[in-house]
Amino acid sequence: MSPAAVDVLAIGNALVDVIAAASDERVAELGCDKGAMTLIDAARAQSLYAAMGPGREISGGAAANSCVGLAALGLRARFIGRVADDQLGEVFAHDIRAAGVAYDTAPGGPQPPTGRCLILVTPDGQRTMNTFLGASHALAEADIREADVAAAGILYLEGYQWDPPAPRAAMRKAIGWARRAQRKVAFALSDVWCVEGHRAEFRAMLAEGAIDLLFANEREAMALFQTGGIDATVAAAEGAAPVVVITRSEHGAVVLAGPTRHAIPPAPAARVIDTTGAGDLFAAGFLAGVAQGRPFDDCARLGAVCAAEIISHWGARPEADLNALARAAGL
């Protein structure tokens, strides 16, 4: 196995977030499920956008956010995801490249348009996401090169992209390439509905050893293992993959690495403005730690520092110097 030329190769949705403040009442009036991620079609995207308050557009996409976090930490990241040939596609491509992430997925035509995530942020900082996937769905096997997978130390896959058939087939192929090249595969469950839709397949992938590192938040982990309560979920998750990371918002994170359990507290956040991207940036910090060969508890601490930064401002792309924050936290 040759040394990795890239630390992390990630495959995910290429989205621009459209972020607006909204009251809890307004979120309910708009028929949104507070805190969840809901897939919406073009017509719903149009009507919901018309009803939303003034927005700010900031590039997003779960795995893409993680890549930007990795690059901000000085790691080498490559992202694969499909935009359209339109202005939001230009925004996405510009922002991820300007952040130092390698990105060369060819855009599709002008239709379907670049995917976007309409995000309502309530005064408690919680985000309610409504995603119109648009061009993201059209990612195909041909967009992923075996050489890129083989050159990356970690292949990182976003559960959100498992739903549409073409990206799923592409990701399955990428897992095979990563295995052949003896690279690690990390997988994020992304959302409870991803788990509900693909539980048997995800559990089979875990059972056959296709996943080395599983990221799940508490609710996703409960959905995957069909457990109730954190203790039963942690017990069920033990050994499901060589490393399982369960994030628990303000309760921190649990890392299960073989027989070892680490419970990591959250990093202190200066303020909570918008929790969009908290999980993505936790994953960025954790993956950076893994790539740097840190012990898993330090990987989780680095993840917590990155998550604390991202929730302190609007949007899921880091604004502060993550390395400086990590140093300040003794990492």
Query: How many other C-beta atoms lie within 10 A of the C-beta of residue 109?
Result: 11
**Shortest distance, position 8 Cβ to a copy of itself, whole Å:** 18
**Shortest distance, position 309 Cβ to a copy of itself, whole Å:** 14
The correct pick among 12, 81, 113, 279 for binding a copy of itself (CB under 8 A) is 113
Describe the chain by its helix, strand, coil percentages, rounded to 5.
Answer: 45, 20, 35
Decide: is 324 part of the binding site for a copy of itself (CB under 8 A): no
**Rounded to an integer, what distance in angstroms lies between the CA atom of residue 65 and that of residue 266?**
19
- φ and ψ of 84, to 5 deg: -100, 170
SS3 131: strand
Quick one: 59 or 247, whose CB is closer to a copy of itself? 59
**Rounded to an integer, what distance in angstroms lies between the CA atom of residue 148 and that of residue 173?**
12
- φ and ψ of 206, to 5 deg: -65, -45
**Shortest distance, position 98 Cβ to a copy of itself, whole Å:** 5
**Rounded to an integer, what distance in angstroms lies between the CA atom of residue 62 and that of residue 131?**
12
Quick one: 127 or 301, whose CB is closer to a copy of itself? 127
Decide: is 111 part of the binding site for a copy of itself (CB under 8 A): no
**Shortest distance, position 58 Cβ to a copy of itself, whole Å:** 5
The region of 56-64, 206-214, 216-224, 227-235 touching a copy of itself under the rule CB under 8 A is: 56-64
**Shortest distance, position 156 Cβ to a copy of itself, whole Å:** 20
Contacts of residue 93, Cβ cutoff 8 Å, sequence gap at least 6: 83, 103, 107
The region of 82-90, 187-195, 205-213, 293-301 touching a copy of itself under the rule CB under 8 A is: 82-90
Decide: is 52 part of the binding site for a copy of itself (CB under 8 A): yes
**Shortest distance, position 97 Cβ to a copy of itself, whole Å:** 8
**Shortest distance, position 90 Cβ to a copy of itself, whole Å:** 8
Size of the site for a copy of itself (CB under 8 A): 27
Quick one: 46 or 260, whose CB is closer to a copy of itself? 46
Decide: is 94 part of the binding site for a copy of itself (CB under 8 A): yes
Q: How far is CA 125 from CA 16, 65, 115, 314, in A?
A: 19, 18, 23, 9
What is residue 250's DSSP assignment? G
Quick one: 57 or 143, whose CB is closer to a copy of itself? 57
The correct pick among 5, 35, 44, 57 for binding a copy of itself (CB under 8 A) is 57
The region of 44-52, 120-128, 210-218, 288-296 touching a copy of itself under the rule CB under 8 A is: 44-52
Contact 127, 274 (CB under 8 A): yes
**Shortest distance, position 54 Cβ to a copy of itself, whole Å:** 4
**Rounded to an integer, what distance in angstroms lies between the CA atom of residue 40 and that of residue 134?**
10
Establish how many alpha carbons lie within 13 A of residue 211's alpha carbon, considering only the half-sphere containing its beta carbon: 27
What is residue 277's DSSP assignment? T
**Shortest distance, position 261 Cβ to a copy of itself, whole Å:** 37
Decide: is 53 part of the binding site for a copy of itself (CB under 8 A): yes
Give, as ranges, the residues between 165 and 224 that touch a copy of itself (CB under 8 A).
none
Candidates 216, 318, 245; CA nearest to 276 is 318
**Rounded to an integer, what distance in angstroms lies between the CA atom of residue 313 and that of residue 277?**
11
Query: How many other C-beta atoms lie within 10 A of the C-beta of residue 146?
Result: 14
Residues that bind a copy of itself (CB under 8 A): 20-21, 49-50, 52-59, 68, 86-88, 91, 94-96, 98-99, 113, 314-315, 317, 319
